[in-house]
Structure 1
């Protein structure tokens, strides 16, 4: 019996050659795909949901905004809680919330209850990523070795693959059982995460010896509230801009100013804005992230809705038309992912993005399917280039002492781009996902893509990132982040 118990314990703590516990990989990856799968599958479900509840695209756009508003606030908050209490409790709580949100979505009696389920999904799916990053760091401390790069790559690739195949998967699920399945699928995913997490994730008491899990930090509640108020006020106005709502932008500006002042002065800010001081290249990277994801998400949700309403395709057919976009994004990432240089990726990505947005002007209700699929494939190329290049740029430009805060802020700007895209879709599809609305949206995306190109070309610091060291052995070509005051 003793031998059997020892073998079971050994199996549960099996490691790969560098000491990393392999049983942690499954819960980390499964938990980390919850957000991208819920983000991307919805793209082809907005029209069926709108038809079910008699809601126009300007209202169903809140299904997108609600998830990203909750995620933008929830991820930094949960990241702090993970640092204080360890990953297990937050992972299990978050993934349980995902299952409850899925059930609420399945039985939602109206659109606004469905929006509430998306808010819960946003908070629930915010737990797995910071928990996974904590576990990687804990394994590095435990083994005395770097956490294997293959694990990080697996997390990144799985999330990206799920995000780009999401529309096709969503279309197939809708064809199989209606849009309710897109919410119902969260229930088995949640159960699987709970089972794996409860079995394999280490308890906080076991982590204290190697990571020193800290006592609860002071939570910047005021900063969270001001950040949420800023985003919500602007989103309420942008989703339905009219003169009678003049006060909303003023509230947003006032809350944003108060948030900025507080975060710069408090010792433990909700979002550390001090990473921006004296680092113009890093500011440019955040700007590119915002611009890139504004275009990417506006296309994903806008084009999907037009395919179903303007081109009269079923959700399943729309998902299949978007499959070349997914294939192009994955392929270009696989081809260029190991190349450290970023400037070429950003310039090519911005130019191809311009071509793809301009091609939207050629579409109408009779456009052949091959053209629609080709446009998606073209747009997939910058989706595979821009995000990865911005991430690599960040690691070269950020102050190493504030790398965690800098990386978190990069994700925040991605969420802001998604919110801007949602507002744009609501504005141009106010009376339905028409061809005229798509063309108006494409003009905006052309302007955004043009700004992205200008920012990429004008940023001279990009030339040095990823270049080989000078022949004399000096690292002159590698940019050294400017260290900023604490």
Structure 2
């Protein structure tokens, strides 16, 4: 039997997706690796839980700022070129990280790492539009598979990170970025579509149009809010709260008046379904990453598990992705996106009810059951929300929309790190864990209520 004409095109598209995944997975994988290193870093640099949390927060704050910018750069200068720049930057950060003398320098290296990883997802999203147009296939499903691989790597990250820490110490989680970035450069260089010709735009003009005042106000608002919240349980720096509020208000004022805003609030106001996607993604990541950042510290400090064993115990967070994802796509095809999302969030809320059980038992089987109860339904949520992004986003704004999608993820991760820091401010014992688990259940229930109750229609 002869091969159908579009079979080679579909085959090529699968290889392009695989190549792009080698770069897009680096952000989530580094999140997983840093999650199992927090207790080690606390001992290495003699800091408390709230202080070490900045290793997470600065990375995601930088990513939140850079994701939409990288989306614009990909649209303007070519996604393949921006993707390659990002991978070179990741390799540089991986080489510098092991030599950090203190936590402040390590945080600076994490910011550099964020510069590199922030290029990957928006560049990949833009390239997949070109792949779908040239080779056939469904760009929405292809980007959904990339997002799925990214989440899988967030759970594989602890396994890899735990093994590297045991073998080489905490520097190992930075060294590994060098060969991984090299793999991404080679694979995308061979397989990714070349950038279409574009009109030359000087970088100086692009920077001038990047709304640096808006970016600065955004950073000040988020950073001061994080600083206030992390110290809330001890001696809150009350002066930071009005600074955060004023900076946030000025940011909104600036964005509504800027010719090229950092975050186009007017565009979001005109597309409420897209806003709903971002809100739900923030809340869902609060739940998932709250567990990912909290469980390793609790198990290492309270139960005395080694980091490599903890990594294995976290594996069920994504072990069922390959099996579950096709079921989710079939459910979406038959019942629609909203039905799949609500089913996933209901199951996720039920799964979070297993987390408080770890306060009474940290036996391996209990941890495995709890992480599986969280990981399996999260696949439903992730695939549904990712596909919802491409349904809600206008085609000409796909790069920017994908960048803002990752910004939403970063804000959820920042929120999760703050929640963990507050819950563990008095220690990492069973009562502290139960507090974190109860907050996680409440956040999951909130996400489900928002998904059911909020059904926006586009304005106009």
Shorter-chain-normalised TM-score: which range? 0.7 to 0.9
* 1:279-335 deviations in Å (ceiling 9; x for gaps): 544433332222111111111110121111122111111111112222234433232
1:192 aligns with 2:174: no
Aligned to 1:246, the other structure's residue is in SS state: coil
Aligned to 1:175, the other structure's residue is in SS state: helix
Give the distance between the partners of 2:344 and 2:324, measured in 1 at CA. Answer: 11
Residues 368 and 243 of structure 1, relative CA distance in 2, 3 Å threshold: closer
Residues 65 and 93 of structure 1, relative CA distance in 2, 3 Å threshold: same
Deviation for aligned residue 1:201: 6.2
Give the distance between the partners of 1:359 and 1:81, measured in 2 at CA. Answer: 43
RCO comparison, higher one (Cα < 8 Å, 6+): 2
Aligned mate of 2:44, from 48, 52, 56: 52
Aligned counterpart, 2:301: 309
Deviation for aligned residue 1:483: 5.8
Give the distance between the partners of 1:168 and 1:416, measured in 2 at CA. Answer: 25
Deviation for aligned residue 1:93: 2.5
Aligned mate of 2:408, from 394, 407, 413: 413
1:81 aligns with 2:73: yes
Aligned mate of 1:31, from 23, 29, 42: 23
Deviation for aligned residue 1:433: 2.1
Where in structure 1 are there 5+ consecutive unaligned residues? 1-14, 462-480
- The CA RMSD measured in Å over matched residues stands at 2.9
Deviation for aligned residue 1:365: 6.5
Give the distance between the partners of 1:192 and 1:151, measured in 2 at CA. Answer: 20
1:178 aligns with 2:154: no
Aligned counterpart, 1:166: 157
* 1:78-115 deviations in Å (ceiling 9; x for gaps): 22222222234433332122122112221222222222
Aligned counterpart, 2:451: 456
Residues 432 and 281 of structure 1, relative CA distance in 2, 3 Å threshold: same
Aligned mate of 2:346, from 336, 348, 351: 351
- Whether the aligned pair in 2 keeps the contact of 1:272 and 1:405 (CA below 8 Å) is no
> How many residue pairs end up in the alignment?
446
Where in structure 2 are there 5+ consecutive unaligned residues? 1-6
Aligned counterpart, 2:35: 43
Give the distance between the partners of 1:253 and 1:283, measured in 2 at CA. Answer: 21
Give the distance between the partners of 2:413 and 2:426, measured in 1 at CA. Answer: 21
Aligned counterpart, 2:146: 155
Aligned counterpart, 1:437: 432
Residues 111 and 72 of structure 1, relative CA distance in 2, 3 Å threshold: same
Give the distance between the partners of 1:392 and 1:197, measured in 2 at CA. Answer: 24
Which structure has the bigger radius of gyration? 1
Give the distance between the partners of 2:33 and 2:135, measured in 1 at CA. Answer: 40
TM-score scaled by length of structure 1: 0.83
Aligned to 2:305, the other structure's residue is in SS state: coil
Aligned to 2:303, the other structure's residue is in SS state: coil
- Whether the aligned pair in 1 keeps the contact of 2:290 and 2:420 (CA below 8 Å) is yes
